[in-house]
Amino acid sequence: MQKLSKITGTAVAVPRSDIDTDQIIPAAWLKRVERTGFADALFEAWRKDPGFPLNQPGADQARVLVAGPNFGCGSSREHAVWALQDFGFQAVVAPGFADIFRGNAISAGLVPAQVTAAAADQLADALAADPAAQVVVDVAERTVSIASARIAVPFELADFAQWRLLEGLDDIGLTLRHEQEISSFETQRAPWLPVVMPTAAN
Amino acid sequence: MTARLFDKVWDRHVVATPADGPALLYIDLHLIHEVTSPQAFEGLELAGRKVRRPDLTVATMDHDTPTIAIDKPIADPLAATQVDRLRRNCAAHGITLHALGSREQGIVHVIGPQLGLTQPGMTVVCGDSHTSTHGAFGALAFGIGTTQVEHVLATQTLRQVKPAAMAVTVQGELPAACTAKDLVLAIIRTLGVGGGAGSVIEYRGAAISALSMEGRMTVCNMSIEGGARAGLIAPDDTTFGYLEGRAHSPKGAMWERALDDWRTLATDEGAAFDSEVFVDAAAVRPAVTWGTNPAQSVSIDDTVPDPAVLGTPAERQAAQRALTYMGLTPGTPIRDIFVDTVFIGSCTNGRLEDLRAAAEVVRGRKVHQGVRALVVPGSARVRAEAEAEGLDRHFTEAGFEWRYAGCSMCLAMNGDTVGPGQRCASTSNRNFEGRQGPGGRTHLVSPAVAAATAVAGHFSTPGEL
């Protein structure tokens, strides 16, 4: 996974609350078996409106999405994160994320930067005034800033998540360091717990 | 020291508490399906890893499988590829697969409990947010993304920050005309669509204890619609009665041992929760959603709300957007809203009890002219059991389509869709924009209200027919 320490670029604001993953990527796109190629899927229905922020000039160059509270609620589809990344986003700044989306974002290397509602409004207002403003999401410092608008606000990101994003670490590799503990745990599981006889592997 | 049910289940699964981060939690059951697993298997194979515990992994096909002509090849090439990929992955890794057409195929959250795979005190995960359904058994069950699916395949564990514990206490007794669906919609209305974020909910109180296992699954299923990580209910005699004799339930002396353990799985007297919400069951009424998230519901006796009277500017704006999308005018009585489609099914309300309730309403009646009505059983077994009771005939004689099992119109991946601008009374769990098809308008209701609405053509309760 790519290391992410500082994301610099333009941003797009979609200041709506409770943006669900069905809006981020409609289910019809989930039939694909690949992990990439979802850029056109992102906000597919909303993008039919020419006035939608992602249709504005320069939006395809944006690196940061600013959104309303409870971003990514609904389905667990990680495709929502992949679609945001395929479009070019490396961070989403919002006053709150749905739990599964946040986990998926951290897994896949998209920064879920949680700011206060007031800060999100401030950022959205600054972007409305100057859509070309450069936004910096600093993962190491946990700040979002727009220097031209003299905004610099902190964001919340758990230490472990921050470390993983900064280092571009693979969770499975980290977990396999605990192989012995897993194996020893497995010898002590309750005897009635269900096991399903595996079929012969090819 | 007192502990909550959630702590007890959590603690017995902690494999390690690494200094560098969240706890490593052992996963007792990993359910997989065709849509969120292909990229996980690909990642696993690229890294040269194996499935650690195929014997704790069970697969089914449900999300984009057809519900008609299931003996024929899948017409949609993308869905066909995805289903083939699951078949190949399960064969290559020795994972049991309940394939389309087999006796135990069905929606992943219907088949787990049905097979006795979901038991009290377990951890259950699946690449699907409605995994919270399994919490009805006192299991800790939650949805995960595809990267985490790969992690569980490789390690049978997950790294998890422990969520907060919220109690939702439902006192009193549900009115006779109300169901678990009406109750959970009332709970979500109280919590808000993000109110449970960061929490695992324990549902408790007299009205919860009085629910059947099917009803408890309906409640826990929609925990995610209130933003919660999971929802669970302490196991009791209702739970044990449901589990006894199921294919994977413990047998003989092992059943007795399991029961002794399961009876300890309750929140201790005096244990405190991080937050607590109270709901009065007696005040619950048959619910209908009017908006584009599951918290936006009212009683069927009410009218479409006026956004102007709602709390915050953000809520007013969201409500206005929702009403525009839904094509509704404030002040319209809910009963005066006509529907084009009725969908009975999904992991929320596709079990035998749900189909019985709906069949009882439509028996001897006809679907209203111009209304398209579908029943999609939650599993092949539910379908067979319903047919053994003759429920399919009540439905088909009334004019319903009687389909094969799957997720179907709940998320509209398999070609079962609500058309643009069309209005659907649906027993599913999400009324998001476009959820049942681009431009489709979804109103979430209980099976009884869905059935009555199919007959009346507009929102209705069985008592009014």
Using a CB-CB cut-off of 8 Å, the residues of chain A touching B229 are: 99-100
For the four alpha carbons of A171, A172, A177 and A183, in that order, the dihedral sign comes to positive
A197 close contact with B: CB closer than 8 A:
yes
| Range 61-100 of A in CB contact (< 8 A) with B | 68-70, 73-79, 81, 96, 98-100
Using a CB-CB cut-off of 8 Å, the residues of chain A touching B38 are: 33
Q: Are B448 and B182 in contact (CB under 8 A)?
A: no
pLDDT score at B18? 86
pLDDT score at A197? 84
| Range 10-39 of A in CB contact (< 8 A) with B | 16-18, 20, 22-23, 26-28, 30-35
Q: What is the ipTM of this complex?
A: 0.95
Q: Which residue of B has its CA nearest to A33?
A: B38
What amino acid is encoded at B40 in this protein? Answer: A
User: Coil, strand or helix: which one is B269?
Assistant: coil
Q: Is the backbone of residue A109 left (phi > 0), alpha (psi -120 to 50) or beta?
A: left
B445 alpha-carbon distance from chain centroid: 13
- List the single residue in B94, B157, B438 with the smallest CB-CB distance to A45: B438
Using a CB-CB cut-off of 8 Å, the residues of chain A touching B79 are: 31
Looking at chain B, the number of H-run helices and the number of E-run strands are 16, 19
- List the single residue in A108, A181, A198 with the smallest CB-CB distance to B94: A198
Task: For each of the domains in chain A, give its residue range(s) and CATH number, in order of start.
Answer: 6-187 (3.20.19.10)
Sites in chain A below the pLDDT cut of 50: none
Q: Are B270 and B257 in contact (CB under 8 A)?
A: no
| Partner-chain contact A197 B56, CB within 8 Å | no
pTM score, whole prediction: 0.97
- List the single residue in A22, A158, A191 with the smallest CB-CB distance to B432: A22
Q: Nearest-CA distance from B398 to chain A in Å?
A: 31
Q: Are B449 and B431 in contact (CB under 8 A)?
A: no
Q: Nearest-CA distance from A38 to chain B in Å?
A: 14
Block mean pLDDT (10 aa), chain B, length 465: 96 92 96 98 96 98 96 95 97 97 97 98 98 98 98 97 97 97 98 95 98 98 98 98 98 98 97 98 98 97 94 87 98 98 98 98 98 98 98 98 98 96 98 98 98 98 96
| Range 320-359 of B in CB contact (< 8 A) with A | 321
| Partner-chain contact B194 A175, CB within 8 Å | no
- List the single residue in B42, B197, B435 with the smallest CB-CB distance to A22: B435
pLDDT score at B314? 81
Contacts of B165 (CB under 8 A, 6+ apart): B4, B6, B7, B199, B200, B202, B273, B274
Angle between helices B447-456 and B352-362 (to 10 degrees): 30
**Burial class (CB within 10 angstroms; exposed 0-12, middle 13-18, buried 19+) of A45:** middle
Q: Are A69 and A17 in contact (CB under 8 A)?
A: yes
Measure the CA–CA gap between A7 and B166, rounded to whole angstroms: 36
| Range 368-387 of B in CB contact (< 8 A) with A | none
Across the A:B interface, residue pairs with CB atoms under 8 Å apart total 225
**pLDDT tens digits, one per residue of A136-184:** 999 999 999 999 999 999 999 999 999 999 998 888 988 999 999 999 9
pLDDT score at B420? 98
Using a CB-CB cut-off of 8 Å, the residues of chain A touching B161 are: 158, 160
